[in-house]
Amino acid sequence: MSLKLSKTSESPYDYVSFDGDTSNPIVRSVTIDHSGGTVLSSVLEVFLVATDEGEGDIGGYEEIVITPHTEQEGLTWEVSLDGVSFHASVEPDPMYVTEEHQITPVFVRVEADNSEETPLNTGNFSAVIPVQSKQVPPGL
């Protein structure tokens, strides 16, 4: 069983980078003109996928927390479960897998400093988006 973010909602899943792997990151483009305030990227829909990979020793995941982060100054990544209300982290409902894969939509965007002093320039920005959870055994 696995719990990962994917860029696609159907198998074969296009899993995003995690655990230090940067080969397939979440990327958003932001236009920065240094005119003041902040600017938002467009929203990207990704999918939290719980799959049964034949291991049989995990029944599902509870206490799921998704918290994107970046070490780049001037950027704040935000996530949402409804595509409307964005937060620093979200806690999706528990996901249990029997024979069907469980899919939960997750929406991400980045807010960027657009002030005259910002070191940022127009470009593509990537985030690390870890998924933390508690594994539960089958049958619970």
Domains annotated on the chain, with CATH: 2-135 (2.60.40)
- Whether 84 contacts 94, CB under 8 Å: no
The partner residues of 20 in beta bridges, in order of sequence, read: none
C-alpha to C-alpha distance for 133 and 90, rounded to whole angstroms = 12
C-alpha to C-alpha distance for 26 and 33, rounded to whole angstroms = 23
Q: How sure is the predictor about 24, in pLDDT bands with cuts at 50, 70 and 90?
A: confident
Residue 1 pLDDT greater than 90, yes or no: no
Q: Average model confidence (pLDDT) for the chain?
A: 89
Summarize pLDDT for 31-89 with one digit per residue, the tens. Answer: 999 999 999 999 999 999 988 765 566 788 999 999 998 888 999 999 999 999 999 99
Cis peptide before 92 (omega within 30 of 0): no
